[in-house]
Amino acid sequence: MDNQTSVSEFLLLEFSEVRELQIIHFIFFLVLYFATVTGNLLIIAAVAFDHHLHTPMYFFLMNLAVQDLGAVSAIIPKSMANSFMNTRRISYSGCAAQVFCFVFFVGSDFFLLTLMAYDRYVAICNPLQYEMVMNRQACMQMIASVWITGLFYGALHTGSTFAVPFCSNIVNQFYCEIPQLLRLSCSGSYLTEFAVLAFSAIIELGCFVFIIATYVLIFTTVLRIPSAQGRQKAFSTCLPHLIVFSIFIFTGWFAYLRPPSDTPSDLDLALTVVYTFVPPMLNPLIYSMRNKEMKVALNKILLSLCSSMETYVTIFLFSLSVPC
């Protein structure tokens, strides 16, 4: 293939050539995807419909759930469809859209997690100034900046990646991952995207340092809390957030900043599954199962859903029993 226009589609990595293993991969991803989507949709519904959760922390959490849904939905359904239909194909435009959407949502996710750390810092270290600092207008401006920055990230990485000509269309990953696409480049212009990736890594490192420093201040403040229950509540909120964020950033850095290999490895696939599935799936558990207010809101939603289902079933059964 001599130039970029000759590449009309890409061939993604298949987990196995054995049909039975392809079906197992489809079912495995389907279960993980269903769990991730269900958990995040419940978070969105709980925050949207319960006025007790209309606070900055839960507002950020709802946006995080939207971003997590977008990130997994950008790549996982296509991988499942390919396994189910026994194909590897993705169109050129589909690949570009996948790169843009994934980078957009993941970039927004990253900056929002940084913002959420700052929110917890103000709430725990400066509680008397919390309402003044995290007022409605400030929260809207912060969220808008997060989404705009993510949009810029997505456009920048997609444009610099697909500006190069490709000499091959075989992608050694189950989705269109930027380092694997750059390996297919036939010219030295891919260095532009590598520079963009390095620049992004520097920004992310700065955010990571900020988050670590923020949590050091939070933990220092928490240790001064006289109530053991208060310390436990603060730690139970902050520690899981920090653990999931660390998994997210280190696996992502390893995948994107190391030189791509010519042949795929089990480690590559395992790390990719970790940073694409683990944070979106664990975030709802971290921020709901250990939060009393969120538990109450989720219980209300589940009871309402059960009541509605019971009503629909009763009406359906009654309609069947009525003679024509």
**Residue pLDDT, tens place only, 289-318:** 667 777 777 777 777 777 767 666 666 565
192 pLDDT exceeds 60?
yes
- Residue 1's pLDDT band (cuts 50, 70, 90): very low
- Residue 94's pLDDT band (cuts 50, 70, 90): very high
Q: What share of the chain in percent tops pLDDT 70? A: 81
Query: What does the pLDDT read at residue 260?
Result: 58
- Residue 47's pLDDT band (cuts 50, 70, 90): confident
Largest CA distance in the chain: 76
Cβ atoms of 83 and 22 closer than 8 Å:
yes
Which pLDDT tens digit goes with each residue over 12-24? 988 878 888 889 9
> Which of 24-28, 110-114, 302-306 comes out lowest in average pLDDT?
302-306
> Which of 4-8, 50-54, 71-75, 155-159 comes out lowest in average pLDDT?
4-8
Please provide the DSSP assignment of 30-41 as one string. Answer: HHHHHHHHHHHH
Give the mean model confidence (pLDDT) for residues 74-98: 92
Task: Collect all residues with Cβ–Cβ distance below 8 Å to 119 and sequence separation of at least 6.
Answer: 56, 57, 60, 134
- Identify how many contiguous H helices and E strands the chain contains and give both numbers: 10, 2
Query: What does the pLDDT read at residue 145?
Result: 94
Structure tokens at 311: 């009503």
Residue 272 vs residue 24, higher pLDDT: 24
Q: How far is it, in rounded angstroms, from Cα 321 to Cα 319?
A: 5
Cβ atoms of 172 and 264 closer than 8 Å:
yes
CATH architecture entry for 4-291:
Up-down Bundle (1.20)
Phi, psi dihedral angles at 263 (to 5 degrees) = -120, 135
Residue 99 vs residue 7, higher pLDDT: 99
Encoded amino acid at 237, one letter: T
Run of H or E including 162: none
Q: How far is it, in rounded angstroms, from Cα 49 to Cα 54?
A: 9
Run of H or E including 90: strand 89-91
3 pLDDT exceeds 60?
no
193 pLDDT exceeds 80?
no
Which pLDDT tens digit goes with each residue over 200-256? 878 888 888 898 888 888 888 877 777 666 666 666 667 777 777 777 777 777 766
Give the C-alpha distances (Å, rounded to integers) separating 269 from 15, 27, 82, 86, 182.
Answer: 9, 17, 16, 19, 18
Indicate the angle between helix axes 191-223 and 136-161, nearest 10 degrees: 150
258 pLDDT exceeds 70?
no
Query: What does the pLDDT read at residue 5?
Result: 46
Residue 270 vs residue 171, higher pLDDT: 171
Q: Apex CA 243: angle with CA 238 and CA 245, to 5°?
A: 95
Give the mean model confidence (pLDDT) for residues 59-82: 92
Q: Return mean pLDDT, the chain.
A: 82
Phi, psi dihedral angles at 17 (to 5 degrees) = -90, -10
Residue 187 vs residue 165, higher pLDDT: 165
